[in-house]
């Protein structure tokens, strides 16, 4: 009789449970020990301690049977799928997907298919989600799948999908139906649903509305007191009257203003009518929480996100996407008011690490948050961090390995569909896919940063948001036009910025996009200089951009470029400004060429290319004058040589270091490289005052962090899991 009863209990799966703690909206204190447990059956294991007793274990007993795997600090949405630690000691099967041992009690649920083959539940659920309905071992076509999310319309009335923030089933491989309390108003319902990581929503249009007061103030602004500055520098100020030049270089220099000071019709809190303000931001962070992020990495990532959250203003909005084997949205775009900060911190601190690295799915969900939002702040960006290789395909076709260009289809666009939202990417550690991550940033118009050490995560984030929180110009376009009938453009060297020349070679343009406060941009325009007398007007430069606060288009007055044409020139002195930018562009070209040589295995040739470039730069006019940018380029090229000393070091850090350097110089924007976020480093030639201020704030906070504060960050322990 006992044997039959044990078989019956095994068939019902009574030895497993899904732990669903009460939320803050349930009315109970989050610290209470009472919880509900729903029975599920994703596995039929060989034996269980729960079946050795004649009485059914209580929900509390089943939860305790999972050991210390549940979060010790309750959160509004925290759950986990866990096996009892008891089980067959002789269970030594290997999962055919991740090739690790399947031993009950390690914190992984198991799934036994109808063909009798067993897998980790999170492995096979992710496999099925990406299009495979056959057994990976015997290729049997399954009739019952380990996961199939309910189709639209299948939910009972009053129910919603709830996926645990820190669930080890990786972002919704398990779907739980749970009735939502009836809200008294639509505002209450929005507040409640915003606490839930509803990654299975088909449309992410539940973003929090913008501050009505700030929207009203936009119409009362009387004007911006500073504008983008345009300067031009010809390669030579004098050219003999009888001489013609075929490749004469003109430098176009732009500098963004300081943080905008606005005259408003209403007084500020301090009683003054003048105040310094900025454009509010919609920020989506896409964070890798795969198994390799366990331990100190995840703790420091949480602290870095805490820094970001604390430094966003009440008009800024944040949404967080966490990805491992799949991706989940922790919460929709939410304003960082005091309440929004607390809820966001609570959700971020509840994260745990587990599973593989599905960058594509994380990027897809982050893009969808942007594209589906109802309200839009003027500035929008994605921050993506990953420490591993993408173990999943971009294409839904199973078995087809992704290639870097396929990420392009996942990148977000603005509402008009013509401007991409920049994705600022952070490659963390020695094992990340720097090539794919660099391609994501390069295609979207963002930057690629290489975080070599764990402690540099917060500083790298701080430098990035220091720029994002200081945008003063958007959609900036530069236009150049010939002023002489015989002057034609040869080329426009603009790095990664898109540039065009008209068919007649007498007009050109450069798409610059957004500029942070005090940022500078330099472009080299090549023209021919015909013979002339007295003075020759070569070209004129103008720009147009949108003020993100006033939402008005600003046209800057054209600046003309003229050179003197004396009969005789004794000494032609090259412009230091032009020579400096030639060195920068040449260095970027050599970096790219050296990387190609290194990828072919010819590290000796790569190092030689870098050495020749160093000698050329330091021997140039600007290098000899002690120019800071030339010194920075020399220091960076030397560092690259050292990281190409052997194949092992190049694979570990050299490739990522070079790609981050290329990203920085091609966009003329600061990136983190190794541990070079220090504002005193020569390598950081593009840092703005806003970036430096945010970095100093981060470093001050890190130095003042007490051990007790660090324990609070690490109070949500993550058990290391196999990739």
CA 553 to chain centre: 29
Q: What is the DSSP string of 365-425?
A: HHHHHHHH-SS--SEEEEEEEE-S---S-SSSSTT----GGGGGGG--B-TTSSSBPPEEE
Number of CB atoms found within 10 A of residue 397's CB: 10
CA 101 to chain centre: 33
pLDDT tens figures, 59-96: 333 333 333 333 333 333 333 333 333 333 334 577 76
Q: Are 423 and 446 in contact (CB under 8 A)?
A: yes
| 459-482: average pLDDT | 96
Q: Residues 357-375, buried b or exposed e (16+ Cβ, 10 A)? A: bbbbbbbbbbbbbbbbbee
Sign of the Cα pseudo-torsion (114, 117, 123, 127, in order) = negative
> What's the pLDDT at 383?
97
Tokens at residue 671, please?
């990136």
pLDDT confidence of 1, banded at 50, 70, 90? low
Q: What is the DSSP string of 286-310?
A: EEE-SGGGTTHHHHHHHHHHHHHHH
The pTM of the full predicted model, rounded to 2 decimals, is 0.70
pLDDT, the chain, mean: 76
List the one residue out of 230, 244, 107 whose CA is nearest residue 720. 107
For residue 260, give the 3-state DSSP assignment.
coil
The tally of CA atoms less than 13 A away on the side-chain side of residue 603 is 14
Instruction: Return left, alpha or beta for 20; rule: phi > 0 is left, psi -120 to 50 is alpha, else beta.
Output: beta
Locus of tokens 């990976």:
136
pLDDT tens figures, 315-364: 999 999 999 999 999 999 999 999 999 999 999 999 999 999 999 999 99
Q: Are 670 and 691 in contact (CB under 8 A)?
A: yes
Tokens at residue 570, please?
């004794």
List of residues 6+ apart from 44 with CB closer than 8 A: 10, 11, 13, 112
> What's the pLDDT at 141?
74
Spatial separation of the C-alpha atoms in residues 109 and 394, rounded to whole Å = 26
Q: Are 367 and 412 in contact (CB under 8 A)?
A: yes
Number of CB atoms found within 10 A of residue 388's CB: 21
Locus of tokens 């906070």:
701
Spatial separation of the C-alpha atoms in residues 628 and 711, rounded to whole Å = 42
Tokens at residue 24, please?
């803050």
Spatial separation of the C-alpha atoms in residues 458 and 450, rounded to whole Å = 13
Spatial separation of the C-alpha atoms in residues 546 and 553, rounded to whole Å = 4
> What's the pLDDT at 225?
56
pLDDT tens figures, 13-46: 444 444 344 333 333 333 333 333 333 333 333 3
Which of 33-37, 124-128, 391-395 comes out lowest in average pLDDT?
Answer: 33-37
Q: Are 514 and 668 in contact (CB under 8 A)?
A: no
List of residues 6+ apart from 505 with CB closer than 8 A: 482, 488, 489, 490
Tokens at residue 322, please?
């966490």
Q: What is the CA radius of gyration of the chain?
A: 29
For residue 263, give the 3-state DSSP assignment.
strand
Q: What percent of the chain has pLDDT over 70?
A: 65
List of residues 6+ apart from 159 with CB closer than 8 A: 177, 178, 179, 180
Q: What is the DSSP string of 644-673?
A: TSSHHHIIIIIHHHHHHHHHHHHHT----E
> What's the pLDDT at 489?
97
pLDDT tens figures, 230-273: 999 999 999 999 999 999 999 999 999 987 654 433 333 333 33
């Amino acid at each position: 009789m006992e044997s039959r009863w044990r078989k019956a209990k095994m068939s019902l799966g009574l030895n497993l449970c899904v732990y669903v703690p009460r939320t803050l909206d349930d009315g109970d204190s989050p610290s209470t020990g009472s919880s509900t447990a729903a029975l599920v059956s994703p596995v039929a294991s060989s034996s269980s301690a729960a079946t050795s007793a004649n009485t059914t274990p209580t929900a509390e007993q089943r939860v305790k049977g999972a050991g210390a795997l549940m979060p010790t600090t309750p959160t509004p949405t925290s759950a986990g799928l866990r096996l009892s630690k008891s089980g067959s000691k002789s269970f030594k099967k290997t999962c055919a997907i991740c090739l690790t041992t399947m031993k009950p009690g390690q914190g992984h649920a198991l799934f036994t298919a109808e063909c009798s083959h067993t897998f980790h539940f999170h492995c096979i659920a992710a496999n099925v989600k990406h299009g495979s309905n056959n057994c990976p071992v015997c290729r049997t076509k399954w009739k019952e799948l380990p996961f199939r999310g309910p189709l639209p319309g299948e939910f009972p009335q009053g129910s919603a999908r709830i996926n645990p923030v820190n669930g080890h089933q990786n972002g919704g491989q398990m779907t739980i139906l749970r009735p939502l309390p009836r809200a008294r108003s639509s505002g209450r319902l929005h507040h409640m649903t915003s606490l839930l990581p509803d990654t299975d929503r088909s449309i992410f249009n539940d973003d929090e509305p913008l501050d009505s007061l700030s929207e009203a103030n936009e119409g009362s602004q009387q004007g911006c007191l500073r504008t983008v500055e345009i300067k031009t520098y010809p390669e030579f100020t004098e050219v003999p009257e009888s001489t013609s030049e075929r490749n004469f270089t003109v430098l176009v220099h732009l500098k963004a203003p300081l943080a905008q000071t606005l005259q408003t019709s209403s007084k500020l809190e301090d009683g003054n009518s003048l105040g310094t303000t900025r454009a509010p931001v919609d920020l989506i962070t896409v964070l890798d929480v795969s198994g390799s992020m366990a331990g100190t990495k995840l703790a420091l990532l949480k602290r870095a996100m805490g820094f970001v959250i604390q430094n966003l203003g009440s008009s800024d909005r944040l949404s967080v996407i966490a990805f491992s084997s799949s991706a989940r949205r922790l919460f929709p775009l939410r304003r960082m008011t005091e309440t929004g900060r607390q809820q966001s911190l609570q959700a971020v601190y509840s994260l745990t690490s587990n599973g593989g690295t599905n960058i594509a799915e994380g990027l897809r969900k982050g893009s969808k948050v942007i594209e589906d939002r109802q309200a839009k702040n003027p500035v929008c960006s994605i921050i993506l961090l990953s420490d591993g290789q993408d173990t999943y395909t971009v294409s839904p076709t199973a078995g087809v390995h992704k290639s870097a260009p396929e990420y392009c289809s996942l990148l977000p666009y603005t509402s008009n569909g013509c401007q991409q939202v920049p994705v600022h990417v952070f490659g963390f550690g020695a094992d990340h896919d720097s090539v794919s991550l660099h391609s994501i940033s390069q295609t979207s118009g963002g930057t690629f940063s290489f975080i070599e050490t764990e402690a540099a995560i917060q500083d790298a984030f701080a430098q990035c948001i220091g720029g994002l929180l200081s945008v003063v110009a958007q959609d900036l376009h530069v236009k150049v036009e010939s002023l002489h009938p015989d002057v034609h453009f040869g080329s426009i060297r603009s790095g990664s910025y898109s540039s065009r020349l008209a068919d007649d070679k007498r007009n050109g343009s450069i798409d610059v996009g957004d500029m942070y406060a005090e940022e500078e941009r330099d472009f080299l325009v090549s023209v021919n200089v015909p013979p002339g007398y007295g003075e020759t007007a070569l070209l004129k430069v103008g720009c147009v951009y949108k003020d993100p606060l006033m939402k008005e288009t600003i046209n800057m007055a054209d600046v003309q470029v003229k050179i003197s044409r004396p009969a005789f020139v004794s000494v032609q002195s090259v412009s230091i400004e032009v020579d400096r930018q030639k060195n920068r562009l040449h260095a970027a070209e050599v970096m790219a060429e050296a990387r190609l040589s290194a990828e072919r295995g010819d590290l000796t040739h790569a190092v030689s290319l870098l050495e020749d470039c160093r000698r050329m730069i330091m021997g140039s006019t600007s290098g000899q004058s002690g120019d800071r940018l030339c010194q920075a380029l020399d220091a960076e090229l030397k560092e690259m040589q050292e990281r190409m000393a052997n194949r092992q070091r190049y694979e570990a850090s050299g490739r990522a270091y070079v790609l981050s350097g290329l990203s920085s110089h091609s966009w003329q924007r600061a990136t983190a490289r190794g541990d070079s976020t220090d504002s005193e480093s020569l390598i950081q030639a593009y840092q703005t005052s806003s970036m430096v201020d945010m970095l100093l704030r981060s470093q001050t906070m890190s130095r003042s962090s007490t051990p007790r504060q660090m324990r609070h960050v690490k109070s949500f322990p993550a058990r290391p899991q196999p990739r």
